[in-house]
Amino acid sequence: MATPENKLAFDGGWAYDPAPESTDHISLKKRYGLFIGGEFVAPENSRYFDTINPANEQKLARVAEASEADVDRAVKAARAAYSGVWSRMPAKERGKYIYRIARIMQERAREFAAIESLDGGKPIRESRDIDVPLAAAHFFYYAGWADKLDYAFPGQRAKPLGVAGQIIPWNFPLLMAAWKIAPALATGNTVVLKPAETTPLTALKLAEVIADAGLPPGVVNIVTGAGKTGAAIVNHPGVDKIAFTGSTNVGRIIQRALAGTRKKYTLELGGKAANVVFADAAIDQAVEGIVNGIFFNQGHVCCAGSRLLVQESVADEVVAKLKERMETLIVGDPLDKNTDIGAINSSMQLEKIQSYLKIGKEEGGEMHQSACRLPKKGYWCRPTIFTGVAQSNRVVQEEIFGPVLAIQTFRSFDEALAKANNTPYGLSGGVWTDKGAKIFKMTQGLRAGVVWANTFNKFDPTSPFGGYKESGVGREGGLHGLDAYVKLGAR
């Protein structure tokens, strides 16, 4: 707890000198075309849109808007590369190209990290230490599988599906591109990928890396645009598989569009995870985990711990410590290495979060925000918690996708489990306790794809990821991630 002396430090905020990451080493073009058939080409209707830096609302570049005709060009390029080169290439050779992508990405890691923070608003510490290294790790991991598919699927023969259409969101732009592209290539498929409208730049940089790695033209195609471009990929008859990560609403639209077609699909959708803290947990450690679970990446995390269930006997202590910790979080310039919470990704997302803050208060919740100052320009949200909320409240049930935590209490194990599972989602969960038996019981009872014990938001390419219920269909990552890109037959 804060003593009177260090309380002063909290009230005044932590005084750190600015430590901005340099942007001298990055190169951005003024305008980006579509990456089709191994080169950047103009969109057929010559339409471009701006991508901005959400921390200062300044334009970073203009980006092509792909029409249906452009998507068709990309799918044809992917098909030609699939039939002509990629599916026939010895698997060992395919693996070499994927390794090469991973290595070039590592060499250019600082550039990728800075661009990810500029375009999306996430703190440089995260893009530098999490997004970019994990993206490279995914390419390394799946490069290793390329010539070992016989061991991944013993006794069976794994054949590629063909052309994979891949659509990704704005919260982990480069990492989601890596999650999608790496297993598709390792299994012999070719790709048409669409990044989100607000964060296209690292995918376009990845296109440069792919060209530098010498991948045969058309193996990976990157088409930028908004929802309509995504829909054109989903509905294109030449696509054999759809891999989508995004909201449950768009996931439903896609599932309806694919019903009755021969296309295989995986959907990674929303979440409303509970962090369950028992009285016997290491409380300080749990508070750090709660903070990491919901304030990491501004809460723009599908598997964010956006609900806290805390055992009644320690609830006051946990909430007091959490409030104290929240005061020390630095909200501001994403490029500053001291920043804990960066910019909200877009004005639309900020409006959505603010509407939930209003709803939470109207529903009778008690809202508490840290007292930090916010920059004048850009999109910002203070770390926020709601106490006194009921299970039926919208801030408890619905995905907010911002730094907003709904806190409830429980008395018994069964009550905690029932409350944690009382959600349409089932992507992730967390359990904090000193007792291994409670961890096992909770992880077996929680209907969630990933459950972290005494930690939160940890990722690894070897570990499968995906949801129960309305959080999705299928798994990405690990061996399971290969399965989504192959058809299995007899040897």
- Enumerate binding residues for Mg ion (CB under 5 A): 51, 119, 198
**Least CB distance from residue 244 to ligand NAP, whole Å?**
7
Q: What does 119 interact with, of Mg ion, ligand NAP, none (CB < 5 to 8 A by kind)?
A: Mg ion
Site for ligand NAP in 5-24 (CB under 6 A): none
- Contact status: 183 vs ligand NAP (CB under 6 A): no
**Least CB distance from residue 166 to Mg ion, whole Å?**
19
**Least CB distance from residue 252 to ligand NAP, whole Å?**
10
Q: What does 118 interact with, of Mg ion, ligand NAP, none (CB < 5 to 8 A by kind)?
A: none
Catalytic residue (choose from 126, 197, 268, 470): 268
State yes or no: is 303 an active-site residue.
no
Q: What does 253 interact with, of Mg ion, ligand NAP, none (CB < 5 to 8 A by kind)?
A: ligand NAP
HEC profile of the chain: CCCHHHHHHHHCCCCCCCCECCCCCCCCCCEECEEECCEEECCCCCCEEEEEECCCCEEEEEEECCCHHHHHHHHHHHHHHHHHHHCCCCHHHHHHHHHHHHHHHHHCHHHHHHHHHHHHCCCHHHHHHHHHHHHHHHHHHHHHHCCCHHHHCCCEEEEECCEEEEECCCCCHHHHHHHHHHHHHHCCCEEEEECCCCCCHHHHHHHHHHHHCCCCCCCEEECCCCHHHHHHHHHCCCCCEEEEECCHHHHHHHHHHHCCCCCEEEEECCCCCEEEECCCCCHHHHHHHHHHHHHHHHHCCCCCCCEEEEEHHHHHHHHHHHHHHHHCCCECCCCECCCCECCCCCHHHHHHHHHHHHHHHHCCCEEEECCCCCCCCCCCCCCEEEECCCCCCHHHHCCCCCCEEEEEEECCHHHHHHHHHCCCCCCEEEEECCCHHHHHHHHHHCCCCEEEECCCCCCCCCCCECCCHHHEECCECHHHHHHCCEEEEEC
**Least CB distance from residue 192 to ligand NAP, whole Å?**
12
String of contacts with ligand NAP for each residue 263-302, x by CB under 6 A? -----xxxx------------------------------x
Site for ligand NAP in 151-180 (CB under 6 A): 167-171
Tell how strand 274-277 and strand 428-432 pair up: parallel
String of contacts with ligand NAP for each residue 349-388, x by CB under 6 A? ----------------------------------------
Structure tokens that stand for 38 in this block:
């191994």
State yes or no: is 381 an active-site residue.
no
In angstroms, the Cα distances linking 228 to 238, 258, 330, 407, 415 are 17, 16, 37, 38, 44
Catalytic residue (choose from 65, 116, 302, 372): 302
The nearer residue to ligand NAP, 94 or 138, going by C-beta atoms, is 138
**Least CB distance from residue 230 to ligand NAP, whole Å?**
2
Q: What does 86 interact with, of Mg ion, ligand NAP, none (CB < 5 to 8 A by kind)?
A: none
The nearer residue to ligand NAP, 250 or 309, going by C-beta atoms, is 250
Structure tokens that stand for 373 in this block:
């100052």
**Least CB distance from residue 119 to Mg ion, whole Å?**
4
The nearer residue to ligand NAP, 271 or 360, going by C-beta atoms, is 271
Site for ligand NAP in 80-109 (CB under 6 A): none
Angle, vertex CA 169, rays to CA 163 and CA 174, nearest 5: 80
Please name every residue paired with 476 in a beta bridge, in sequence order, or none if there are none. Answer: 465
> Chain centroid to CA 490: how far?
36
String of contacts with ligand NAP for each residue 220-259, x by CB under 6 A? ------xx--xx--x----------xxx--x--xx-----
Q: What does 270 interact with, of ligand NAP, Mg ion, none (CB < 5 to 8 A by kind)?
A: ligand NAP
Q: What does 13 interact with, of Mg ion, ligand NAP, none (CB < 5 to 8 A by kind)?
A: none
- Contact status: 403 vs ligand NAP (CB under 6 A): no
**Least CB distance from residue 32 to Mg ion, whole Å?**
12
Number of residues in contact with ligand NAP under rule CB under 6 A: 29
Residue from the set 116, 126, 131, 399 that interacts with ligand NAP by CB under 6 A:
399
**Least CB distance from residue 275 to ligand NAP, whole Å?**
16
Please report, as ranges, the residues that interact with ligand NAP according to CB under 6 A.
Answer: 167-171, 194, 196-197, 226-227, 230-231, 234, 245-247, 250, 253-254, 268-271, 302, 399, 401, 427, 467, 472
Known catalytic residues? 268, 302
